[in-house]
Amino acid sequence: MSTKKIRRTWQCLAFSLPLMLVGMSAHAATDAWPERPVRVIVPFPAGGINDTVARIALNHLGTTMNTGIVVENRPGAGGTIGTLAAVQSPADGYTFLLGAASTIAVAPQLYRDAAYKPETDLTAIGGIASVASVAVAAADTPWKSLDDLIRHDKEKPATLHYGSAGAGTSHHVQTELLKLKTGAKWIHVPYRGGAPAMTDLIGKQIELMLEPLPTALSHIQSGRVVALGVTSAQRSPTLPDVPTFQELGIQDYEATTWFGLFAPKGLAQDIAGKMSAALQKTLQSDALKQDFASRGIDVYTGDRQAFEQFVGTETRLWGDVIRDAGITVE
């Protein structure tokens, strides 16, 4: 071999060797993942339904993965602050997001200054759970059925009030969908969280709430509020005597508050696949199913691709509701 050819060969090796080493290093890092605890940002306060679902699911997921999972609550601005923090985190497999209908399908279409787009800024790992909402009224009021509230509104429009945990929350958009379906003119009263809204409902400051079933359950069981109907397509096993909205004659009404796991865009496919597989395995465990069922939480049963399609469908649904109901935020 000539000196010129030898020199060229060494030049090629000198150029390609660093690239090979980088590739080998990245592959080794993927194989070793996770090497330290994983952080999951929950963009809502501790104690609410988002936090409840996250802590149950992630406790079981950590067991499946044999690694620590740290829940970090980053509330504010309807969940957009914590979501943006996740979007801006390194896509290294050590930061994930507990996404929900309100932060993924609603907020980016409702807040003009929302600084993220889920379809381009996040990678869906998989669905986790969904919960029905239940329409509730204070126990010692004339409102013994949903029809009572609808009929009163037709006789005296815009005199009844419904509460929500804030603009853009599931309480808000699901009730606006109900208003579109029934023609009701109830007035929206936003609160800073579902707990103060429930307090005012019990105190008769407002007449109606659509509250996630797990957080409404104790108030229903104590007799402080009356369950008028559930938003899911089928009756809840937790409240088998409470009819669905569709059974009450509200055609094509089905709405749930759902939750899923997301990662910053750019996460290595191998890591995304590993996390998705671990999540699927966790959701199939009897222990998690029992923990969810005891609180009125339904396990998500679809795979990762089905969840991505579901998120797209939900985004279109709530975009239509926001437009048709004329929902705006300050």
Report whether pLDDT(215) > 50.
yes
The model's pLDDT over 104-141, given as tens digits with 9 standing for 90+, comes to 999 999 987 789 999 999 999 999 999 999 999 999 99
The sign of the torsion formed by the CA atoms of 31, 35, 37, 43 equals negative
Phi-psi region of 40 (alpha: psi -120 to 50; beta: other; left: phi over 0): beta
DSSP string, 56-85: HHHHHHHHHHTS-EEEEE---GGGHHHHHH
Residue 165 identity (one-letter amino acid):
A
- Where does 37-130+257-325 sit in CATH, by number? 3.40.190.150
DSSP string, 112-162: TT----HHHHEEEEEEEEEEEEEEEEETTSS--SHHHHHHHHHHSTT--EE
37-130+257-325 against 132-230: fold identical: yes
For residues 72 and 38, the answer to whether their CB atoms sit within 8 Å is no
pLDDT on residue 41: 99
pTM of this structure: 0.86
Domain boundaries in the chain? 37-130+257-325, 132-230
Q: In CATH, which superfamily holds the domain spanning 132-230?
A: Periplasmic binding protein-like II (3.40.190.10)
The model's pLDDT over 273-316, given as tens digits with 9 standing for 90+, comes to 999 999 999 999 999 999 999 999 999 999 999 999 999 999 99
